[in-house]
Structure 1
Amino acid sequence: MTHKSDSIKDYIFLFLKGAGMGAADVVPGVSGGTIAFITGIYARFLAAIKSVNLEALQLLRKEGYKASWQYIDGTFLFTVFAGLITSAASLAKVITYLLAHHQLLVWSFFFGLILASFIYIAKQIDQWRSSAIASCTVGAVIAYAITSLAPVEAQPHTWLYFVSGAVAVCAMILPGISGSFILLLLGMYGHVLSAITNKELSLIALFLLGCVVGLMLFSRFLSWLLNQYQQITFALLAGFLLGSLNLLWPWKSVVSTYINSSGVEKPLMQKNIFPTEYVNLVGHDPQTWLCIGLALCGLLLILGIEKLSDK
């Protein structure tokens, strides 16, 4: 499992890739799994998580800490998660602010990111046979359906932090399905973000424990899928990305609202509209050219990372 060729420089890049995953996971609509995939660490990340098992525990008992740590590719996992947690914790406030004050621009940038990610994953498919096309269509329909659901506001029971972590982390490692959006659907996004921002350590620990349990179980299933049905799985993931663009379309009009537990009015159902309609229905400048420019920046950023990863 170990990668002895890893140098200090490699681990700095691994930390930054983890930071990219953390930044993506904070935003509803963008998946950390997508960032892992395009930066070339996805397969190793899944394999390392999957190796945290009973065999690793037996190695710890029989041969000691070092053998067990090497077996699970521990330094790699530690570095990626250090970047992920550091980034998610430090960016929680920034992302919340940007989504509150510059929503159009944020969604435009991420629309470009996800579109480029779709292109990247689609390129991994050797031949677009009927099975791959069908799998991609199913993925797109599932993601579109999920992103069309109305978020709810849950009562923040303590046990819900564990359950939310276990469910959302499955989406976090799937390219195209956002863990943050799953949290939104469960009604726990605001509560989890608030716990991180306010440093409520017991709630954060429960959420992370749920994440660990979810990761252990789901990574095995996903790894099996990629080993047995790689091309069809890639097509399904590409479909997830394509369908999730529904959520990231910048120009939306609010169809209905709800009052959350803090007494604040929030959008419940929204529909995608054209920039020309946005002025009449919402009454704000659609910033069309700036949004298109930012979407292109997101597109070029991912394609640039892909080129760097290839080198």
Structure 2
Amino acid sequence: MIDYISNMLKGALMGAANVIPGVSGGTMALLTGIFEKLINTIKSFDTKAIKLGCTFKFKELFEHIDIKFLSAIGIGVVASILSVARLLEYLFESHALYVWSFFFGLILASVYFVGLRIGKRSGSVVALFILGTAVAAALAFLEPAEQNASIPYLLICGAVAMCSMILPGLSGSYVLLLMGNYQLVMIDAINNFDFKVLIPVGIGAVGGLVVFARLLSWIFKKFHDQTIALLTGFIFGSLAILWPWKTPDIKTFQDGDAIKEKVVGYFYQLPELNAETGIAIAIMLAGIVIIALVETMAGKLKTT
């Protein structure tokens, strides 16, 4: 029971992270020590699982796919997304600087702790870290696409965003932002339970996840240190997206009879020396401390 609750909390961390543009649920999975198990468990949805399901051997099926682990993670993720989405809608409107500062601290600390998992440093490890950093940082300067509610595009959004969500350092929410559908999916559809949007996104997410997990599991086993280095680079590069002191570049556009606004980028600045900056830095340090505590607790659980 304790393990189940622990996994639910880890799932909740993943869900909360996935709602924030620039933060990855995969980073939380890696930090809490469940990343490889999660990937291998998702990979278990194979032909054997289909055969067991078709022959109604549900006990063997649940053991094969580790339903206890997956259900705990799934409950945590879904509950967190449904609750955090509403909270963040308010926080981003009222205290955007402090929200960005908190998550900047979380991800900054994550770079250090994830990097510790690299066993042997080599030329390829360093090169992949630099590549990962460059790719993730470049995302900060791409202009988002237009919103598109067509079913084929929602399927693609679900698949791409879910693959990004499980990759540490690549934010599924930010990918949705770049694809033009963050507001539609993560805010409007979730808060209003719009199943016309959520169902195709969910189908795309499940399909993309099952296929991608098999590829990622193979890469992890074959090139462990290189994969960790690339993922650490992704996390480090994502700091460009999360820099707290920025103002959104907002463009208005016509959508039928309505005029809507869309964030197409950011103007970055250096912080001013004032009380607000002091509070933001304190919140950033709190994010660093939280990750350090999460990592320490995860290490203790591994040794018990």
Same fold (TM over 0.5): yes
What is the Cα deviation at residue 62 of structure 1? 5.0
Among 257, 267, 286, the residue aligned to 1:297: 286
8 Å CA contact retained: 2:82, 2:191: yes
CA distance in 1, matches of 2:65, 2:83: 27
Show the counterpart of 1:268: 264
Q: Deviations over 1:179-207 (max 9, x none)?
A: 00000000000010211111112321211
Retained in 2: the 8 A contact 1:171–1:182?
yes
Q: How many aligned positions are there?
A: 296
Please list, as runs of the form range in 1=range in 2, the aligned pairs for 1:113-132 lying within 5 A after superposition. Answer: 113-132=106-125
Paired residue type of 1:297: A
Q: Secondary structure at the match of 2:168?
A: coil
Aligned to 2:103: 110
The percent identity for this pair of structures is: 40
**What amino acid is aligned across from residue 271 of structure 2 in structure 1?**
P
Partner Cα separation in structure 2 for residue 252 and residue 60 of structure 1? 51
Indicate the SS of the match to 1:29. coil
Rounded to whole Å, the distance in 2 between the matches of 1:35 and 1:200 is 28
Determine the C-alpha separation between the residues in 1 that align with 2:261 and 2:152.
26
C-alpha displacement of 1:286: 7.4
Deviations 1:266-290 (A, max 9, x none): 44232321113xx9xxxxx771111
Check whether the contact 1:251–1:286 (CA below 8 A) recurs between aligned residues. Answer: no
* 1:1-311 → structure 2 map (5 Å cutoff): 8-62=1-55, 64-192=57-185, 193-254=187-248, 256-260=249-253, 261=255, 263-276=259-272, 287-311=276-300
| SS of 2:250 mapped into structure 1 | strand
> 1:219 deviation in Å?
0.7
Q: CA deviation at 1:60?
A: 3.2
2:128 & 2:285 partners in 1: Cα distance? 28
- Give 3-state SS (helix, strand or coil) of 1:187's partner: coil
Distance 2:147 2:42 in 1: 30
Q: With structure 2 as the length reference, what TM-score do the two structures score?
A: 0.93
Distance (whole Å) between structure 1 residues aligned to residue 263 and residue 223 of structure 2: 39
Distance apart, 1:155 and its partner CA: 2.9
- Using the alignment, how far apart are the partners of 1:212 and 1:301 within structure 2? 31
Q: List alignment gaps of at least 5 residues for structure 2.
A: none
